[in-house]
Copies of this chain bind each other. A is one copy, B any other.
Amino acid sequence: MLNLETLSMDQYSFVANAFSFGLAVMASTTIFLWLMRSSVAPAYRMAVTITGLVTAIAAYHYLQIMLSWEHAVSIETGEVVATGEPFNRAYRYVDWLLTVPLLLIELILVMKLSQQETINKSLKLGGAAALMIVLGYPGEVAETIGTRMIFWILSMIPFLYIVYQLVIGLKESVDKQPENVKGLMHIAAYLVVASWAFYPLVYLLPLAGVTGGSAIVAVETGYTIADIVAKAVFGLFIFTIAVRKSEAEAGASGTSASKKA
């Protein structure tokens, strides 16, 4: 149970601003992606649509988190006073349960593999991602350090499987991508791994005895930055890859090129 009264008023406002920033970034990325959807070839529109869905879902949850943060506290003569309503951190898990599998699916879709391979890899990676989130949740809400530790370990199994798949398993598919996007594709895959590595570390903070106002600020702004990198920045990489591949394919075939001109 978080004790929000350990926050100074400045700390409380800083986190509120971070949530508002998260909402603004996610919502504007969504609108950008959906408005620009028609500038990629039809084969990549599903990838761009889902990329926008991920940031849209995240925008919704940042709105909910922001409101929950607001209702959990009232400011009285410069002091943070808890209202009794809990700050609902579970919104993050609800968000991840939906967005993390979709993130992996957008990466797979932009690769334009065969239909069978797309379904196969989406089920495997998406399923592992959902399992990772479901296993993390009981530890997050657990009262004891022991339970938290057990579910951290359980959740790390699908996490490491996904990292392995992104770094090694998808390598062959990435190597078959056109030259002009291979670099971006590698960056996108590493961006996922790097931004995701942040989450299990934050999860462990209470075990390391980090508590109080500064810990709450570190966790909440940390998750927000990681979410922005993993969803919005990653999404813009996916969009750029889709644009470049569309251009390369339009250049290769006469008909589509003239249609695009």
Interface residues of A (CB under 8 A from B): 9-10, 13-14, 16-17, 20-21, 24-25, 27-28, 31-32, 34-37, 39, 42, 45-46, 49-50, 53, 56-57, 60-61, 64, 74-78, 84-86, 88, 90-91, 93-95, 97-98, 141, 253, 255-256, 258, 260-261
Report yes or no: A45 in contact with B49, Cβ–Cβ below 8 A.
no
- B86 near A76 with CB under 8 A, answer no
Give Cα distance in the complex from A49 to B95, angstroms. Answer: 26
Q: A84-B76, A256-B261, A261-B253 are in contact. Are A50 and B24 (CB under 8 A)?
A: no
Residues on B with beta carbons closer than 8 Å to the beta carbon of A9: 86
Q: How often does this chain occur in the complex, in copies?
A: 2
Which residues of B lie under 8 Å from residue A45 when comparing CB positions? 35-36, 39
| A85-B91 contact, Cβ under 8 Å, with A36-B46, A64-B20 | no
B53 contacts A32, C-beta separation under 8 Å: yes
* A12, closest chain B residue (CB): B86
CB distance from A208 to the nearest CB of B (A): 25
In the complex where A16-B88, A36-B45, A45-B39 touch, is A21 in contact with B253 (Cβ < 8 A)? no
Contact check, A31 vs B10: say whether CB atoms are below 8 A apart. Answer: no
In the complex, the chain B residue whose C-beta lies closest to that of A58 is B24
Docked complex Cα distance between A67 and B14 (Å): 17
B64 touches A75 (CB 8 A): no
Given contacts A13-B86, A24-B57, 16 further A-B contacts (CB under 8 A): A13-B88, A13-B90, A17-B90, A17-B91, A17-B93, A20-B91, A24-B60, A24-B61, A27-B60, A28-B53, A32-B53, A34-B35, A75-B84, A75-B85, A78-B84, A78-B86
Q: From A45, which residue of chain B is reached at the shortest CB distance?
A: B39
Please name the 3 residue pairs, one residue from A and one from B, whose CB atoms are nearest each other, closest first: A21-B94, A35-B49, A17-B90
CB-contact partner of A97 in B21, B78, B88, under 8 A: B21
Q: In the bound complex, do residue A25 and residue B88 qualify as a contact, i.e. CB atoms below 8 Å apart? A: no
Q: List 21 A-B contacts (CB under 8 A).
A: A10-B141, A13-B90, A16-B88, A17-B88, A17-B90, A17-B91, A17-B93, A24-B61, A24-B98, A28-B53, A28-B56, A31-B56, A32-B50, A36-B45, A39-B46, A42-B260, A75-B84, A75-B85, A75-B86, A76-B84, A78-B86
